[in-house]
Amino acid sequence: MADSIYKVIELVGTSTESWEKAAAAAVEAASKSLRDLRVAEVVEFDMALEDGKVANYRVKVKVSFKFEV
């Protein structure tokens, strides 16, 4: 098997419902323009607040994909 190289990018996904859906949104968006996604790692969770209530769940996700030379 030949050696491979992977690129890692960082994305922020958002959802009004949950962190899980926010992470899924980031991966789904990435899959529309990137090929051969390999790993997604959630590295940070936070929430946007409005009037003392949660308005959006946000996750920072590192996504790796195969780098084609």
Q: Does any domain span residue 54?
A: yes
Q: CA Rg, the chain, in Å?
A: 14
Under 8 Å between Cβ of 3 and 63: no
Give the mean model confidence (pLDDT) for residues 25-54: 95
- DSSP 8-state secondary structure symbol assigned to residue 13: E
Q: Does any domain span residue 1?
A: no
Query: What is this structure's pTM?
Result: 0.84
> Considering its fold, how many domains does the chain have in total?
1
Q: Does any domain span residue 36?
A: yes
Helix (H/G/I), strand (E/B), else coil: 25: helix
Which residues form the domain of 26? 6-66
Q: Does any domain span residue 17?
A: yes
Q: Does any domain span residue 45?
A: yes
pLDDT confidence of residue 3: 83
Strand partners, 10: 62
- Residue listed under structure tokens 């980031």: 26
Instruction: Give tens-digit pLDDT for 11-29.
Output: 999 999 999 999 999 999 9
Proportion of the chain above pLDDT 90, given as a percent: 83
- pLDDT at residue 69 is higher than 80: no
Helix (H/G/I), strand (E/B), else coil: 2: coil
Q: What CATH number has the domain bearing residue 52?
A: 3.30.1660.10
